[in-house]
Amino acid sequence: MQDGVTNVGSRSFANCQNLREVVLSNSVDYIGSHAFYGCTNLETVTFPASAKFGDYVFKNCNKLKNLNSVDAAGKILVAGKNINENEYNRW
């Protein structure tokens, strides 16, 4: 996502079956509820550590395995956090 974008709106990418990886710019400070709901092929998401999340952002993203959090300088803080079904359905 381009620099300057601050918000990923609710359901912005819901049911986008072709998404496999998402890299959000450091300017994103909020990811709305259900933003990536039902992106069944999504495997990896990289997002700024300061971002806040709405409810069920990754619900039904059955292949999601890696969440990477980066700081403002681009340093990876949490790399490839392996998550399981119970975790991604809470996000």
Give 33-54 pLDDT, tens digit per residue: 999 999 999 999 999 999 999 9
Cβ burial 38-62 (10 Å sphere, 16+ → b, else e): bbeebeebbbbeebeebebbbbbbe
Per-residue confidence (pLDDT) for residue 78, from 0 to 100 = 65
According to DSSP, the β-strands at 44-48 and 30-31 are unpaired
DSSP-derived 3-state class of residue 90 = helix
Terminal alpha carbon distance of the chain: 20
Q: In which band, very low, low, confident or very high, does the pLDDT at 70 lie, cut at 50, 70 and 90?
A: confident
For the cut 60, the answer to whether the pLDDT of residue 60 exceeds it is: yes
> Average pLDDT of the chain?
85
Neighbours of 77 (CB within 10 A): 10
For the cut 80, the answer to whether the pLDDT of residue 85 exceeds it is: no
Per-residue confidence (pLDDT) for residue 4, from 0 to 100 = 80
Distance CA 79, CA 13 (A): 23
Q: Which of 66, 64, 58 is nearest to 89 (CA)?
A: 58
